[in-house]
Structure 1
Amino acid sequence: MAGRGAPANTSPSRFNLNSREADGDWLDEREEIDGGTAPLRTQVTSERPKSILARNTSPDIPFDKSVNPYRGCEHGCIYCYARPTHAYHDMSPGLDFESRLFAKPDAASLLRKEIGRKGHVPTPIAFGTNTDAYQPIEREWRIMRQCLEVLAEANHPLTITTKSDRILRDIDLLAPMATKGLVAVAISVTMLDPALHRILEPRAPRPEKRLAAIKELATAGIPTHVNVAPIIPAINDHEIDSIIERAADAGAKTASWIPLRLPHEVAPLFQDWLQVHFPDRAGKVMSIVRSIREGRDNDPNFFQRMRGSGPWADLIRNRFRIAARKAGLNQTRIELRSDLFIPPRCDGQLALF
């Protein structure tokens, strides 16, 4: 389906969602009568959670709190490890995940209450760790912007990971926070090839726009990181060196990579995608992926899921390390300050001092 990542809505579910496939004869009759399938339109539903801070205790993720303003993501990246969250709500991790979205309009007010509670520890809050906070619907909903306003008021540190140059809209908030050492931004650049981008990340901004965003953020004094993820063997791994070089030229200071992850329903979706777009090498891709993942489609174990193991993982790791060193990019984290935190007022009143 043009403009969408998943081939269909038929992936199996671990929960209650029944897998449905349209009858072929009926499809032929409908095309004759109606002239083909209507474009799949994005639907957005308001969600009213009771809390907005998600807690994390994973030892291989460098944050303990995150905020996800949206559920589902219109970017439609076929490899997205967040797709299984839609299965939990009896929706398909396939096309439903990228077309039936949920927005959390109370996110900023909930965030104000939660960081304003007595005993709150102001460690960096991560945005964009599950679904992209700057996906297209942010243009109208502006939930990410509202959350930024709360954190800027409180001098609270945060990190943002995104594929979208829409983040440039908020430079007026991010730049002053950066001068205080409160924010770092990671831009994900998965490939440079525009043809691959159209089928792998169909509604995400083009790679050139992301590189331009790195340059503009860096020029504004905002510490910017490039995340080359995921690296998919025999699909985009040949572009590692070029991506690193272009990101460094744009002003990125640090870099990281993650091998392809295929948890739960993502594995069959990705394999269907391979059969549609790369049938000539589908077997080769999955063979290498399994060699990195202890013979499985996915390895969920701590310390391995973000790194992979085996000769292929070592080869990619060494290649990335050499490319980063040549480009002058560091592979360490950007440290943020937490000593400037001022609990925000939650009663609607302004502070005297």
Structure 2
Amino acid sequence: MQTHPIPPLISARPVGRGARSNDAGRFEPLDRVAEPDGWDREEDLPPLRTQVSLETARSLISYNRSPDLPFDRSINPYRGCEHGCAYCFARPSHAYLGLSPGLDFETRLVARPNAAEVLRAELSARRYKVAPIAIGTNTDPYQPLEKTHAITRGCLQVLDAFNHPVAIVTRGALIERDLDILAPMAARGLVRVGISLTTLDAGLARRMEPRAPSPARRLAMIRALSGAGVPVRVMTSPLIPGLTDHELEALLAAGAEAGADTASWIMLRLPREVSPLWQEWLAEHAPARAAKVMARLREMHGGRDYDPRWGHRMRGEGEYAQMIAKRFRAACKRIGLAQEAPALRCDLFRVPPQPGDQLSLF
């Protein structure tokens, strides 16, 4: 079993982190428990600093057959996410690394520095058939460590060279750095960006998404992208019943005012370890609303915290889910936001010449 840092006691409240605990992943034979040392005095715990490991990727493009998703392939430059969103549905993926979906997910990150090289090789393969690639479907490609590693930028440079369509999902302001790549790609119909906007309440956002940009900063990102000609989808995801659902219309209006032309929504998802982590967060930050939030979610999932069935997991079912869907459609119609974006172009794809290639005579 790998050795991990002992998590701080819950009472220590790790500053700037979304999870409150660090239970071992579901595949681990042993758990880790933080215990007081027996001394009758409190001690200052060291800061919980972010650690980054490097991984040599052997493949990069992941394929899926989910009918819930508008794409069949994606790439993820990083594992784990320092944004630390308390509700992140991707947290359980850290268990496959022998790490905790709790604090480890946001403090023990993995970067894949050869991602662009592997992507280039995969796109150059004779058997490859072009279709839009999604970036940021699991963890954010523009989280803070992208500033030093620039792996996402390297992948975009490859996609640009191949004229390959790409859809990006992020809440990271660093995406503005790459407008020199994104704007020309957008002019060729090769890119669209989704910006996640969960609340307009800056205080709630800071508690719930401790290291992600503020709501105002995300709206500024939409303005910058749309102003450069990059089509933007405002994603009111996740929508949290009893906590942020009342903001739905305001979120859509703010996104449209900033320049978004399409919109989408997904209900809060609590797969595997995410449910207890989320309920810990509720108990500390929204205790008066905790029962209502969980009751609404269970109402939409047949009494369970989460139902992973295709066609159901993203939005749930029942009267409440139907009401949210109707509100969303009505608001989009009133504001002028489309729910479906134009298809990205695939007809421009080409494999650029590689060093050493024999040139054609014709």
TM-score of the superposed pair, with normalisation by structure 2:
0.93
Over 3 Å counting, the alpha-carbon distance change for 1:40 and 1:349 in structure 2 is farther
Aligned to 2:53, the other structure's residue is in SS state strand
Distance 1:110 1:93 in 2: 27
| Correspondence 1:301 to 2:313 | no
Deviation at 1:18, TM superposition (A): 2.8
Q: Which sections of structure 1, spanning at least 5 residues, go unmatched?
A: none
| Correspondence 1:201 to 2:205 | no
- The residue aligned with 1:87 is 95
Aligned to 1:160, the other structure's residue is in SS state strand
Decide which of 10, 18, 22 is 1:9's aligned counterpart. Answer: 22
Distance 2:117 2:20 in 1: 38
Are the equivalent residues in 2 in contact too, given 1:214–1:224 (CA < 8 A)? yes
Deviation at 1:101, TM superposition (A): 0.1
Are the equivalent residues in 2 in contact too, given 1:45–1:102 (CA < 8 A)? yes
Deviation at 1:302, TM superposition (A): 0.5
Over aligned residues, Cα RMSD in angstroms?
Answer: 1.7
Distance 1:335 1:30 in 2: 64
Distance 1:217 1:297 in 2: 36
| Correspondence 1:259 to 2:267 | yes
Distance 1:350 1:305 in 2: 50
Distance 1:249 1:350 in 2: 51
- The residue aligned with 2:330 is 322
Deviation at 1:290, TM superposition (A): 0.6
Aligned to 2:144, the other structure's residue is in SS state coil
Are the equivalent residues in 2 in contact too, given 1:223–1:334 (CA < 8 A)? no
Over 3 Å counting, the alpha-carbon distance change for 1:80 and 1:351 in structure 2 is farther
Distance 1:164 1:349 in 2: 38
Moved more, 302-311 or 257-266: 302-311
| Correspondence 1:29 to 2:39 | yes
| Correspondence 1:20 to 2:28 | no
Are the equivalent residues in 1 in contact too, given 2:243–2:289 (CA < 8 A)? no
Query: How far does the alpha carbon of each residue in 1:223-265 deviate from its partner, in whole angstroms, 9 at most, with x for none?
Result: 1101100001111111111111111011100000000100011
Distance 2:64 2:164 in 1: 18
Over 3 Å counting, the alpha-carbon distance change for 1:348 and 1:73 in structure 2 is farther
Over 3 Å counting, the alpha-carbon distance change for 1:150 and 1:31 in structure 2 is farther
Decide which of 259, 267, 284 is 1:276's aligned counterpart. Answer: 284
Moved more, 13-22 or 298-307: 13-22
Distance 2:53 2:315 in 1: 36
Distance 1:347 1:330 in 2: 44
How many residue pairs match? The answer is: 348
Deviation at 1:74, TM superposition (A): 0.2
| Correspondence 1:73 to 2:86 | no
Deviation at 1:20, TM superposition (A): 2.0
Aligned to 1:280, the other structure's residue is in SS state helix
Over 3 Å counting, the alpha-carbon distance change for 1:281 and 1:50 in structure 2 is same
Aligned to 1:122, the other structure's residue is in SS state coil
Are the equivalent residues in 2 in contact too, given 1:113–1:346 (CA < 8 A)? no
Give % identity. 51
Distance 1:30 1:160 in 2: 51
Distance 2:40 2:22 in 1: 19
Distance 1:94 1:233 in 2: 22
| Correspondence 1:220 to 2:233 | no
Distance 2:242 2:249 in 1: 15
Over 3 Å counting, the alpha-carbon distance change for 1:346 and 1:289 in structure 2 is farther
Moved more, 63-72 or 12-21: 12-21
- The residue aligned with 2:248 is 240
| Correspondence 1:125 to 2:138 | no
Over 3 Å counting, the alpha-carbon distance change for 1:38 and 1:126 in structure 2 is same
Are the equivalent residues in 2 in contact too, given 1:124–1:157 (CA < 8 A)? yes
Aligned to 1:281, the other structure's residue is in SS state helix
Decide which of 55, 63, 76 is 1:55's aligned counterpart. Answer: 63
Amino acid aligned to 1:307? R
Query: How far does the alpha carbon of each residue in 1:116-138 deviate from its partner, in whole angstroms, 9 at most, with x for none?
Result: 00021110000000000000000
Deviation at 1:17, TM superposition (A): 5.3
Are the equivalent residues in 1 in contact too, given 2:171–2:195 (CA < 8 A)? yes
Deviation at 1:347, TM superposition (A): 4.5
Distance 1:350 1:226 in 2: 46
